[in-house]
Amino acid sequence: MDETTLVARAQDGDVLSFEVLVDRYQGPLFRLALRMLHDRGQAEDVVQEALTTVWRRIGMLSDPVAFPRWTYQITTRVTLNALRSRTRQPVDAADPVTLDDGRLDRDAADADRFDPAGVTENQALATALRTQIALLPDELRLCWTLYADHGRTYQEIAEIIGVSRDTVRGRIARARQRLAGGMTSWQ
Amino acid sequence: MRHDITAGNPSAAGPSELAERLHDKISSVPGVERLHPTIRYAVASVGAGNLRAASASLGRILGPGESTVDAYAHADGIVDVTVDISTDFSTDALAVCREIRRVITTEVISAGLLVGQIRVTVRG
Amino acid sequence: MAVDELPELGCGRTTEQVWAGIGRPPDQHERDCEYCQQARQQLALLDRAIRSVRELAPQTEQPRARVKNAIMDIARSEIRQGRRIPLERPGPLPSAGSDTPVDDAELGITERALIAVVTQAADRVPAARTRHVRVAEATRPVAEPEPTGLEQEPTGIEQEPTGIEQEPTGLDISITASIRFGAGVVETVDQLRDEVTAAIGQLVGITVHRIDVVVEDVHAS
């Protein structure tokens, strides 16, 4: 069912339509929080709080078309609050487990059986990039993730975070520069 | 207010036991998807030791086996029963509610009590 | 570098410019520029890494079930149900002068539950996307009793009007929908009415008094 219809119904109080929205959004929002917090439990808490807030305030959304941007805005706010209020998780570049992407390694390990050389290199590249992303300062990592993983435009990211479009553009460019520089040590 | 009606009838159950039995029987009525907590008489409808259920976020912290049926016993053995359900509309709502009413009447009477006001609501 | 400025290479080009060009062969400037060549190399590697992450990343990564359960538990407990409408008719409703409608019918259904029935029925019409549904109980004043021929002679004193009791006449339903471009509007609206009437009749048993359909939008298939 198209999102406009689902959102309109959820605005009236239709909980079944809201449930479909939860199904569609909980994965991406979880992955966003996970990239920022590096902790599954905290990321789950973020998703729960964000989507509960979405339900409670959905009547305030004037245009159903703005739903994705609004939902990401709420999730980003909850995520940044969680980041600020906890003691910082040290990110150990040498420890893939800190990246909470253990599954990345396991999936690749399975694939190794089919194409040892090619997949291992692929996997190493991916792990290296993941490490670099995790090392980015929060504000750069947030913009990068919204752009690269969630396909938001610079304008949308600006509205989600509450900064100018130029600021977003600058942060993504600086993130890209750092990531590219960080990858050279992999070679 | 609430007390066990046992005088002259050793098989009569206390109100919270009746509420729990009603919860089980009503849940089994075809077409009943789930029972929902009714807020107003929350305290009266749960057993002792479950004070948490009386708070505003009632629905979520009812523990397993907790009743979502409000069975309010008056001093004279008359029991008012309120229950909110959602239905899957596999059979028509009126038929489902009539069956629930029949179940309530049967259970209250088997508990040695008298049927007062019954209120069954299908909610969305 | 100011917050909003883009990172620049030694030759004056920005990394953003180089990034935009890594899919094509190097241009005239880039062929002769060490800075750009180095940047192209690094950014090409980054590009490869981004693709690897996308290929290997488990996009099926999901939060555990407890998250959705908690969200939905709260959502379900916070739905506005609207008015309760009797499923059986005990008798006329109290007069319009009472503060709140007294609803002491033993068996009732909420407006929200009725909306769910209507929505499900409306969704059986493929050409329509139903967005908003409202359901309310329609009422009218109770009809005055037939004269029996036994009433008293007029005394010249004006009679009090009879009581303004209301009786229910069924459900008033209003639907707002978008219709598929090219579908017949009249036909589609008729289908909506038919499906909704049938569903209410089968699943609820309350008479349908009136169904208003407003087409507020058109969509492509």
- The count of other CB atoms within 10 Å of the CB of residue B8 is 7
Whether the Cβ atoms of residue A33 and residue A46 lie closer than 8 Å to each other: yes
**CATH superfamily, region C81-89+105-141+165-221:** Cation efflux protein, cytoplasmic domain (3.30.70.1350)
Residue C191 tokens read as 């289908």
Q: Do B60 and C84 touch (CB under 8 A)?
A: no
Residue C24 burial (10 A CB sphere; 0-12, 13-18, 19+): exposed
Do A78 and A115 belong to one domain? no
Residue boundaries of the structural domains of chain C: 15-56, 81-89+105-141+165-221
Mean pLDDT computed over C142-153 = 65
φ/ψ of C81, rounded to 5, equals -85, -20
Do A82 and A103 belong to one domain? no
- Give residue A119's pLDDT: 59
- The count of other CB atoms within 10 Å of the CB of residue A187 is 8
Q: Which of B87, B18, A125, B56 is nearest to C74 (CA)?
A: B56
CA distance B9 to chain A (A): 45
> How many Cα atoms within 13 Å fall on the side-chain side of residue C201?
8
Residue C23 tokens read as 């899919």
Do A118 and A180 belong to one domain? no
CA distance A87 to chain C (A): 23
Containing B117, the helix (H) or strand (E) segment is: strand B114-122
Model-level pTM?
0.79
Measured distance between the N- and C-terminal CA atoms of chain A, rounded to whole angstroms: 46
Do A74 and A4 belong to one domain? yes
ipTM (interface pTM): 0.85
Closest B-chain CA to C201? B92
Chain A residues near residue C112 by CB distance under 8 angstroms: 13
> DSSP string spanning B56-98?
TTGGGG--TT----EEEEPTTSEEEEEEEEEE--SS-HHHHHH
Q: Which of C121, C87, C136 is nearest to B93 (CA)?
A: C87
Mean pLDDT computed over B60-68 = 45
Instruction: Indicate the pairing of strand B78-87 with strand C93-95.
Output: unpaired
B30-39 burial by CB neighbour count: b if 16+ within 10 A, else e? ebbeebbbbe
Q: What is the pLDDT of residues B14-32, one digit of tens each?
A: 557 888 899 999 999 999 9
B15-122: CATH, from 3.10.310, 3.10.20, 3.90.640, 3.30.70: 3.30.70
Closest C-chain CA to A184? C42
Could you tell me the pLDDT band of residue C215, with boundaries at 50, 70 and 90?
Answer: very high
Q: Between vectors from CA C159 to CA C155 and to CA C165, what angle results, nearest 5°?
A: 155
Residue C112 tokens read as 């929200």
Residue boundaries of the structural domains of chain B: 15-122
Residue A120 lies in a domain: yes
Number of residues that make up chain C: 221
- Give residue B45's pLDDT: 41
- Return averaged pLDDT per consecutive 10 residues of chain A, 187 residues in all: 96 96 97 95 97 96 94 97 78 51 46 55 89 95 96 96 96 95 80
CATH number at residue A15: 1.10.1740.10
**Helical spans, DSSP H, in C57-81:** 65-77
Do A19 and A71 belong to one domain? yes
Residue A139 tokens read as 């504000």
Would you call B38 helix, strand, or coil by DSSP? coil
Among C104, C112, C205, beta carbon nearest to B123: C112
**One-letter identity of residue C169:** T
Q: Do A181 and C55 touch (CB under 8 A)?
A: no
3-state helix, strand, coil in chain A (%, to 5): 80, 0, 20
Chain B residues near residue A15 by CB distance under 8 angstroms: 124
- The count of other CB atoms within 10 Å of the CB of residue C157 is 6
Residue A35 lies in a domain: yes
Q: What percent of chain C has pLDDT over 90?
A: 64
Residue A92 lies in a domain: no
Residue A142 lies in a domain: yes
Q: Say if residue C77's pLDDT is above 60.
A: yes
Number of residues that make up chain A: 187
- Give residue B10's pLDDT: 33
Chain A residues near residue B33 by CB distance under 8 angstroms: none
- CA torsion, points B55, B61, B63, B68, in degrees to nearest 10? 70
Q: Which of B60, C74, B18, C59 is nearest to A52 (CA)?
A: C74
Q: What is the pLDDT of residues A10-58, one digit of tens each?
A: 999 999 999 999 999 999 999 999 999 999 999 999 999 999 999 999 9
- Give residue C158's pLDDT: 53
- The count of other CB atoms within 10 Å of the CB of residue C29 is 12
Residue A57 lies in a domain: yes
Q: What is the pLDDT of residues C13-63, one digit of tens each?
A: 999 999 999 999 999 999 999 999 999 999 999 999 999 888 887 666 899
Q: Residue A153: which domain range? A: 136-187
Give the integer Cα–Cα distance in Å for A36 and A142.
7
Whether the Cβ atoms of residue A146 and residue A163 lie closer than 8 Å to each other: no
Mean pLDDT computed over C203-216 = 96
